[in-house]
C-alpha cells in the first residue's frame, strides 16, 4: 500500500506541482511555476512554507524546514528539533538543486543561483548564489548583463539562439 501512495504522490506532484504543494499545506501564490518537482522537496513540515506570486522553482530544489542537528546535542539541550518557516516573496527564481534552510526569507524579485545553499535571509532585488548563498549583484546589474549578452557583447555566451540550435547534432531542421 505504501508503494502505491509513493507512486500516486509522484504522479500528482508531476501533474500539477502547485496543487500538490497546496494539498500538503504549502502556501503557493498565483502564477508560480515548478519545473522538475519531487514529493520530498517540501520537507517534513510543508505547512510552514510560503511561496509568493509568479515564482519559478526549478529542478531538485529542497525546502528544508527543520534542523535535526540538535539530536547530536540532545544530552545538553534535550531531544528537540528546530523548525523554521521559509518565505519566498513575489517573482523569485530558485535555481536547480538549491537548498533553502529553515527560517530563511527571500525578498521579492530575487534570483537564487543553481546549487546554492541558502542559510540566511536574502534581500529583495538581488542575485545571490553559492555555498553558503550570498548576494553577488543587484537585479539591475543582472538585467544589464542579460541585455549585453542578447546584444552579442559577451562572446562567452550565445546570443543567437537560432545559431545555437543549429549546432545541435539532433536538430533535424538544420540538416
Closest by Cα among 80, 73, 31, 82 to 52: 31
CATH number at residue 59: 2.160.10.10
Residue 89 falls within a domain, yes or no?
Answer: yes
Residue 164 falls within a domain, yes or no?
Answer: no
Cβ 32 vs Cβ 53: under 8 Å: yes
Cα 161 from chain centroid?
25
pLDDT in tens, 35-89: 988 888 999 999 999 999 999 999 999 999 999 888 899 888 888 888 999 999 9
Residue 79 falls within a domain, yes or no?
Answer: yes
For the chain, the domain total comes to 1
> Residue 62's domain spans which residues?
2-138
| SS3 call for 50 | strand
Output the CA–CA distances (angstroms, integers) from residue 47 to 28, 38, 66, 85, in the order listed.
10, 16, 12, 9
Residue 115 buriedness (CB in 10 A; 0-12 / 13-18 / 19+)? middle
Residue 171 falls within a domain, yes or no?
Answer: no
- The number of CA neighbours under 13 Å toward the Cβ of 8 is 5
99 forms bridges with which residues in the sheet? 62, 117
Residue with cell 502564477: 31
Residue 83 falls within a domain, yes or no?
Answer: yes
Residue 152 falls within a domain, yes or no?
Answer: no
Residue 80 falls within a domain, yes or no?
Answer: yes
pLDDT of residue 173: 65
Q: How far apart are CA 83 and CA 85, in angstroms?
A: 7
Give the Cβ contact number of residue 99 at 10 Å.
20
83 forms bridges with which residues in the sheet? 66
- Which stretches of 53-138 are DSSP H helices? 74-77
pLDDT of 1 strictly over 60: no
Would you please indicate which residues are annotated as catalytic (active-site) residues?
A: 66
Residue 105 falls within a domain, yes or no?
Answer: yes
Q: Is the pTM higher than 0.75?
A: yes
**Higher pLDDT among residues 140 and 12, named by residue:** 140
pLDDT in tens, 118-138: 999 999 999 999 999 999 999
pLDDT of residue 157: 84
CA-derived radius of gyration, the chain: 19
pLDDT in tens, 94-115: 999 999 999 999 999 999 999 9
Mention every residue, 6+ apart, whose C-beta is less than 8 A from residue 148. Answer: 154
Residue 36 buriedness (CB in 10 A; 0-12 / 13-18 / 19+)? middle
pLDDT of residue 48: 97
Amino acid at each position: 500500500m505504501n508503494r502505491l501512495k509513493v507512486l500516486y504522490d509522484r504522479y500528482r506532484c508531476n501533474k500539477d506541482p502547485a496543487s500538490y504543494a497546496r494539498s500538503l499545506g504549502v502556501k503557493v501564490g498565483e502564477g508560480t511555476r515548478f519545473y522538475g518537482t519531487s514529493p520530498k522537496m517540501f520537507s517534513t513540515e510543508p505547512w510552514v512554507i510560503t511561496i509568493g506570486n509568479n515564482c519559478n522553482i526549478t529542478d531538485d530544489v529542497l525546502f528544508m524546514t527543520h534542523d535535526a542537528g540538535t539530536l547530536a546535542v540532545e544530552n545538553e539541550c534535550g531531544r528537540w528539533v528546530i523548525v523554521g518557516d521559509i518565505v519566498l516573496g513575489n517573482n523569485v527564481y530558485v535555481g536547480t538543486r538549491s537548498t533553502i534552510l529553515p527560517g530563511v526569507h527571500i525578498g521579492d524579485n530575487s534570483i537564487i543561483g543553481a546549487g546554492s545553499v541558502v542559510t540566511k535571509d536574502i534581500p529583495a532585488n538581488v542575485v545571490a548564489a553559492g555555498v553558503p548563498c550570498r548576494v553577488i549583484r543587484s537585479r539591475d546589474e543582472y538585467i544589464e548583463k542579460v541585455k549585453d549578452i542578447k546584444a552579442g557583447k559577451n562572446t562567452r555566451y550565445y546570443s543567437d539562439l537560432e545559431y545555437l540550435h543549429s549546432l545541435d547534432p539532433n536538430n533535424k531542421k538544420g540538416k
